[in-house]
Amino acid sequence: MLYNYKEAMKEYKNDYNLKKALENNKVYKIEDGIYSDTLNNHYLSIIMKKYPYAVIGGLSAYYYYGLTDVIPDRIILCTNRNATNIVNYEIKQIRMKDELYNLGISSYMYEGINLKIYNKERLLIDLVRNKNSMGYDLYKEIINNYRKIVSELDITLIEEYLTHFQYGDKLYKILMDEVF
């Protein structure tokens, strides 16, 4: 089990007991402020514990949902504009206004890790919005995979989400032409 510093202090009562537990290998320091009772932890569980305010999005989310086989070089974490700056070369932070940040947050089990991730409907809208910032082949791969799961998507949810985006009506037309 992973603990942040506050949870570790609650478990071990004070710094002295935490240091003794560390010396006796009852708990391990994984990173600054992150502790675990096991030595080996999945990198995603560490990220989810270290950045609980962040949501996985973009290429990372498409990969974890199985919509692409392209492994992202960095994990994309979305935060609101006022969130703490994430300083980690393995993570790309995308800041957004609260209205868009909170839209479509869900949880998803990936390799036994509960991820805080955007749902597929929200990601489909983001895919179309950011079409020009990714390679054509990658875009087509993800769109083709969305076509395979079109029956699983909630079209009314997509329509509701589109009301929050600039040019939502144009995005809707593109979605209807390319996916549905």
pLDDT digits (tens, 9 = 90+) for 21-34: 999 999 999 999 99
pLDDT for 106 equals 98
87-129 pLDDT per residue, tens: 999 999 999 999 999 999 999 999 999 999 999 999 999 999 9
E strands in the chain: 2-4, 28-31, 34-36, 55-56, 75-80, 91-96, 105-110, 113-118
Q: What mean pLDDT value characterizes the chain?
A: 95
Q: Are residues 104 and 29 in the same domain?
A: no
Q: Are residues 124 and 157 in the same domain?
A: yes
pLDDT for 159 equals 97
pLDDT for 20 equals 94
CA 148 to chain CA mean position, Å: 22
Cα 172 to Cα 35, 91, 104, 111, distances in angstroms:
45, 30, 17, 33
Q: Are residues 81 and 148 in the same domain?
A: yes
Question: Considering its fold, how many domains does the chain have in total?
Answer: 2
Question: What is the per-residue burial (b if ≥16 Cβ within 10 Å, else e) of 26-54?
Answer: ebeebeeebbbeeeebeebbbbbbbbeeb
Q: Are residues 23 and 77 in the same domain?
A: no
Q: Are residues 64 and 153 in the same domain?
A: yes
Structural domain including 66 reads: 47-178
- Judged by DSSP in three states, 1 sits in coil
Q: Are residues 58 and 129 in the same domain?
A: yes
Q: Are residues 37 and 70 in the same domain?
A: no
Order of strands, edge to edge, in the sheet holding 55-56?
A: 91-96, 75-80, 55-56, 113-118, 105-110
